[in-house]
Amino acid sequence: MEKNVKRRNTQQRKVILEILRSTDIHPTADWIYEKARQVIPNISLGTVYRNLKILKDEGLILELNDGKQSRFDGRVDQHFHFKCLSCNSIYDIDNRKIVNIEHNDLRKEGYQVQSFDVVFSGICPKCNGNQN
């Protein structure tokens, strides 16, 4: 993928970004593809992948790793994630008070920290209630 190219604001890219910003389920490329087809019936999966990569490069979305699949996040402000080991849902965790990270020590050791993510694993409220 070329850098420093003049990007066009295509229908496809706009729709994909809208879809991502309208959900908090951290969908896969395939889920986004199905949603996008409801708006642009002949959009291709390849186009979805290409645009997700571009949007990520532009810092408009995040890519999360979930086993072998990627999942995408339309929120790019600082927040964390909770992964349910039972239903595999990913939840956003907003409460900043939960996490306090002081990475001055890392900088002193020569690490240049650009970002960080905290991923909690366990059982989500829904599955917990269902005794799953």
Site residues, DNA (CB under 7 A): 1-2, 5-13, 28-30, 40, 42-47, 49-51, 53-54, 68-70
12-20, 34-42, 49-57, 114-122 -> range binding its own copies (CB under 8 A): 114-122
Q: H or E segment at 48?
A: helix 45-57
Q: Please pick, from the candidates 8, 77, 109, 131, the single residue that binds its own copies as defined by CB under 8 A.
A: 109
Label each residue of 19-45 as H, E or C.
HHHCCCCCCEHHHHHHHHHCCCCCCCH
What is d(CA 53, CA 3) in angstroms, rounded to the nearest whole number?
Answer: 12
Binding mask 46-75 for its own copies (x = CB under 8 A): -------------------xxxx-x-----
